[in-house]
Structure 1
């Protein structure tokens, strides 16, 4: 089966560069591109047979590390390699918390990006030069896609009725998911859940 690679970055020229790096590693790869987080999520749902996700941290719809968290929730078995202009020392430990297998800077030589892609495809996982992921980060990473979207809605200050409208589900269903979120995060209320998630970089814009 031809492997499918998702390249998610809002800069067309850099997507082309990443696509070139992918073809150097996997000449027969099918490459799917996305210029926003929403398009990346849809691509993950539509592809079904993804072998790897190459993800920029900063693109429309992505704030903090919510892109990594959302895509990992959608496809927990698919490795995510973050390719970003963010400072590696500061960002790598954070993206690893939410399921990314590696981090490579956008300023890295093409050969280094190719090596990172090859390592991610072969099951390799880079180790941050920091402490291992803490418990609350692991709990956030364990949320389902809908639970994570409900949590992000809470972070944005949305009421249950508004979150239900945003997600196209019943308000009662939002309450069920919120209860599950509180239980998984081991917190007592929405405010504590928001504080915990915000401390991990899951900020959202208003």
Structure 2
């Protein structure tokens, strides 16, 4: 089996590799320093058992990395390892598909315990605080978008036009429009501006 470590800081990747080697010495480890590289590994590696993901990576905004990788491989647990602050960080990453959250300021033993729990299929975080039902439902909807729909939505948040999105994703403008129609229907909004506002309200454009 293979564990993916996605973090743009080489020294921290090394620390995570050490933690993984102590918890699961028989597992193969692959590394990625950008979200695009992580997504490529996720698409090409059939035997993934765990993804260790930093939120603040080149190519990622807010919780977009979790949503994108979870959409690509919904059955592979994602354990977020980040320095993000805030008491709601753990519940927020779970709402986008992660199984748990490790603060980078914690010690190595805590990281190892969380990795061990994730590999065992346990969720190493406390139950999330109660949030408004409407917000929770929208988070689930965003987490349920397809990988391409997520990429289109993130591009809209960045202010890209359909022509730019089509060029960057290697698809036609008509296909982009089709994805936007599906996104707006799922989010229950009437236009792309409203879709972008929903995405921003859920932290998809926040830097962590």
The superposition leaves residues 20-42 of structure 1 with CA deviations (integer Å, 9 ceiling, x where unpaired) of 11111111111010011111111
Alignment partner, residue 48 of structure 2: 50
Q: Which runs of 5+ in 1 are unaligned?
A: none
1:114-125 to structure 2, matched below 5 A, reads: 114-125=112-123
SS of equivalent residue, structure 1 residue 62: coil
Q: Which residue of 2 aligns with 1:112?
A: 110
CA RMSD of aligned residues (A): 1.5
Q: Give the match for residue 131 of structure 1.
A: 130
Is the 1:5–1:30 Cα contact (8 Å) retained in structure 2? yes
Deviations 1:32-74 (A, max 9, x none): 1001111111111111221100011111112211111111111
Q: Secondary structure at the match of 1:63?
A: coil
Counterpart CA distance in 2 for 1:10 and 1:131 is 33
Q: Partner residue of 2:178? A: 176
CA drift of 1:90 comes to: 3.4
SS in 1 for 2:11: helix
| Conserved? CA contact 1:53–1:81, under 8 Å | yes
TM-score after normalising by structure 1: 0.94
Structure 2 residue runs of 5 or longer lacking an equivalent are none
Task: Count residues with an aligned counterpart.
Answer: 203
TM-score normalised according to structure 2 size: 0.93
Runs ≥4 residues deviating over 4 A: none
